[in-house]
Structure 1
Amino acid sequence: MVNQEDFTKRLRKLLRYYDLSASAFADRIGVQRSSISHLLTGRNKPSLDFILKVNDTFPEVDLYWFLKGKGTFPKTSSDTDLPVTPTPSLLKKAQNPNIGEHHKSVDKIIILHSDGSFKIYGGD
């Protein structure tokens, strides 16, 4: 459960961090200005839609921090890096990337940018 008072403090911290008024923040994430006002006064609790819009607009906001106050803000690069333990089959594939491939060709390449945008090459 979200503690409303603590959530309001974290929302205010976002506004200060991005140097945005409540109105500008609402416009930026695409919600009604009154919804930010209601969150800041404690009248309403954050909706899932609100949380997702904040996450889409500001990917450096750790959702667990925003909702529960645990974690860090802004996210550090290590917050998004998941540890990978290579399996034997993955190691074998890395040494010989053509294992299991039957003359496959690259259809398209997708480049993901840190701001959430992307560029697709090929694969009409």
Structure 2
Amino acid sequence: MINSEDFIKRLQKVIDYYNESASSFAEKIGVQRSSISHILSGRNKPSLDFILKILNTYPEINLYWLFNGKGDFFGEAQNKSVITEKQKEDLFSTNYKESEKKKVSPPIQDFAEKGKTIERIVIFYSDGTFKNFNN
């Protein structure tokens, strides 16, 4: 079960890190402003849907850290450091030169059964984080 007081501190840390107001944060993750207000005040506990909306908007945040406070804000993938805007841009940039793109061999689609296509792949890591890849 989530410790509400500790979750509020982590949520506030996320909001502050991204330089958002509660209102702009609510808009970005797709919830009503009152939802953020009620959670921050301790009136309501966060739902799983609320947490997933945060992670869908900010996939670099460590789920395990957000959910129960264990681990690091960005997890092991970021070498336990706060990343800069430039580093974020580099990490999530899709503007690679053709020569820099690596080909997957064999193509993932080769693993699908005949007549079926792969819809989604989820990779779970030992630290409680995961990556979700949609086709």
TM-score norm. by structure 2 comes to 0.57
| Other-structure match for 1:54 | 54
Letter in 1 for 2:39: L
Q: Could you give the per-residue CA deviations for residues 8-61 of structure 1, whole angstroms, max 9, x where no partner exists?
A: 000000011000000000000000000000000000001111011111000111
Aligned pairs for 1:30-69 within 5 A: 30-69=30-69
Question: Counterpart of 2:36 in 1: which secondary structure?
Answer: helix
Aligned pairs for 1:67-106 within 5 A: 67-77=67-77
Question: Which has the higher Rg, Structure 1 or Structure 2?
Answer: 1
Structure 2 distance, partners of 1:62, 1:77, is 9
Segments of structure 1 that go 5 or more residues without pairing to the other structure are: 80-96, 102-115
| Other-structure match for 1:92 | none
Shift of 1:78: 6.2
Letter in 1 for 2:60: E
Letter in 1 for 2:45: K
Structure 2 distance, partners of 1:117, 1:63, is 16
Q: Which runs of 4+ in 1 moved over 6 A?
A: none
| Other-structure match for 1:91 | none
| Other-structure match for 2:116 | none
Segments of structure 2 that go 5 or more residues without pairing to the other structure are: 80-105, 111-131
What number of residue pairs does the alignment pair up? 91
Structure 2 distance, partners of 1:22, 1:117, is 29
Letter in 2 for 1:49: D
Q: Could you give the per-residue CA deviations for residues 77-119 of structure 1, whole angstroms, max 9, x where no partner exists?
A: 268xxxxxxxxxxxxxxxxx7xxx9xxxxxxxxxxxxxx898x
Letter in 2 for 1:32: Q
| Other-structure match for 1:10 | 10
Letter in 1 for 2:63: L
Identity %: 59
TM-score norm. by structure 1 comes to 0.62
Question: Counterpart of 2:45 in 1: which secondary structure?
Answer: coil
